[in-house]
Structure 1
């Protein structure tokens, strides 16, 4: 498989933070007297914070800032998935460039030790996921504009939809969660499984 660059989502993809995000959003909403149903909230993780908050609150920015404050307090408890460092090391050995696209704010991202220095945050674009703009910017950072030679790895449809729109390879990483979708080209359970995909003809 000819892949020249890989775009990774952050939360729930390479960072083991999905459950912490759910807790932070629930706590932030409770502060504003809002109690969203968890089965409704989970599929929204991955959207820009203000977009997610606006589905429940008339003051989405305030809710988003509260969620990021709560989430940041838990950063010492949050780590990369165990196979991430080794996978990125192997990608560097294979000379495959990587970039992260996240709906988080730059200030929060700067507090996390990441396996690549190339990151597109919600602060870097006008339109966040599932718009294609963050991914177009990521492709520009990679210096690759040719469709079909970029793999997008994420744990939400907000990653898969723009990947397919741009003609890139969409890889859904599940980490034990259940999905009912036919949008991705491939589904995997661990980050390191992308290495096997790269070896496919």
Structure 2
């Protein structure tokens, strides 16, 4: 006797639906996107959305993870792979100029912009994205501090201030992209921002003296 199939097969592709939800959150922000909006862009009904993704908050977190994997991983990669903090910052800012202006996608960075206009009821969403941004700045600060300790950067370099500065430039580039700035403009901004960084090797002369 044939076994009875349990449940009904999903009539949609989960990854495609998640991509559409991610784009909606990325373009409009968490609070501005309703369940009705999500079911429309994902082309599924509300019961299917809840069954596959849970509630809106859970879907948003999964959408953020999908964004990081597909469009935001360059920050972590640069911090892990670049030989120096300065190289990492330069790579991050220039790759952001590309990522923030990809054709056919929402402008800017989802991690930066998706919770800018949230209400008090969505404070957990705001805090979660703040934690992600602060974690990136902390990683940059550690890379800078290590280069200062190794004599790669001058001993008077303020690792915290330089890391926050770089994060602020990155956030400003995201907003400029949303306001219409093109890739070339953002790359020029990145070039200017890197002029504020101390030059590598400036800390080596004092350790070599005597």
The structure in which a higher percent of residues are strand is 1
TM-score, normalisation: structure 1: 0.30
Which has the greater radius of gyration?
2
The structure in which a higher percent of residues are helix is 2
TM-score, normalisation: structure 2: 0.29
State the structure with bigger RCO (CA 8 A, min sep 6), 1 or 2. 1
